[in-house]
Amino acid sequence: MSNSDQRPVSVVTGANSGIGRATSIHLAKQGHRVAGTVRSIAKAEKLQTMAADAGVEVELFELDVADDDSVRVGFAELLAVTGRVDHLVNNAGIGGNAVAEECPPQMYLDVMNVNLGGAVRCLQAVLPQMRERGSGTVVNISSVAGRIAAIAQSPYVASKWAFEGLSEGLAQELAPFGIRVVIIEPGVTKSAIFAKNIDAPNSTGAYDAHYRRMFQFYMAGMANATDPFEVAQVIHTAITTDEHRLRWPVSWGGAELAELHDRIDDSDWIAMGAIEEDEEYYQRFHDVFGLDLR
């Protein structure tokens, strides 16, 4: 395809699975020219098959969001092919389970490098041409863990809280240039990230309950998990609507948990952490959030 193609160009990072794959296919079905970034095109067979089955094309570009040079080279190739980027969906991300006492500082940095640094590298690659045109959208895929400190996931939470802060500031920074920033806050969706995210250091043995309750949350979430195409639909709405709304909670637990601060104060939150019996903890969680973890 030539770069004279007049369709809106949407870049989706981490396009090879879960929300990224669903978003790539859904936006293509909505008439977007979609460029999906993947770490390995050779491993993107399922994405290509699903796109073909949907009757659409997703153009693939290899890059690793965790690496400066890889992003620079990958986006140079992408822009040479597409000519522009109208919408950037910063979706690539990794999980990270650990309580703070047991989490090596390097793990914080590794998770942050992907979940925050990766998005920064990609937005810096596309913002100059968006500013020059005076239009564009940056969609940052955060998480409900960007609004609530999900138990026993300290490095993941830290990265997503940082991502929320960057995104909120970015929205103001880019407002004078006609560029919209959108934060998507999924709860639990059907995604490979949860199947991969099964580590629990528990090196001291003191945090059994924390890891148990964290996995119980995801077990309950996966039993009720929403299709990632639901998130893709919200992303499409967010970049096409005239409603300039910053945050968009979605999926199981999304709205309930993202609005934590409206329903529980800090002392109640800390008291919940001090509950010793699992059954009492699950009941309290249900009372506050309306979500049944049992």
Whole-number pLDDT of residue 260? 73
Render the burial of 193-223: b for 16+ CB within 10 Å, e for the rest. bbeebeebbbeeeebebbbbbbbbbbebbee
Whether 242 maps to a domain, the answer reads yes
| Cα distances (angstroms) measured from residue 219 to each of 188, 194, 225 | 10, 10, 9
The catalytic site residues sit at 156
Domain membership of residue 41 (yes or no) is: yes
- For residue 125, give its domain range: 9-201+225-262
Q: What domain count does the chain have?
A: 1
Domain of residue 125, CATH code: 3.40.50.720
Residue 20 corresponds to which tokens in the numbers above? Answer: 């990224």
Q: Quote the pLDDT of residue 193.
A: 53
Closest CA to 138 of 150, 151, 125: 125
Q: What is the pLDDT along the chain (294 residues), one digit of tens a residue?
A: 455 678 999 999 999 999 999 999 999 999 999 999 999 999 999 999 999 999 999 999 999 999 999 999 999 999 999 999 999 999 999 999 999 999 999 999 999 999 999 999 999 999 999 999 999 999 999 999 999 999 999 999 999 999 999 999 999 999 999 999 999 999 888 765 555 555 667 778 899 999 999 989 888 888 888 899 999 999 999 999 998 899 999 987 888 887 776 678 889 989 999 999 999 999 999 998 888 998
Say if 273 falls within a structural domain. no
Residue 253 in domain: yes
Does residue 279 lie in a domain region?
A: no
Strands 33-38 and 136-141: unpaired
Strands of the 87-90 sheet, one edge to the other: 58-62, 33-38, 9-13, 87-90, 136-141, 179-186, 247-250
| pTM across the whole model | 0.94
Tell me which residue of 218, 100, 187 sits closest to 152, measured CA to CA. Answer: 100
Residue 278 lies in a domain: no
166 domain-assigned: yes
Q: How many residues can be counted in the chain? A: 294
Q: What is residue 25's predicted lDDT score, i.e. its pLDDT? A: 98
* Within-domain flag for 44: yes
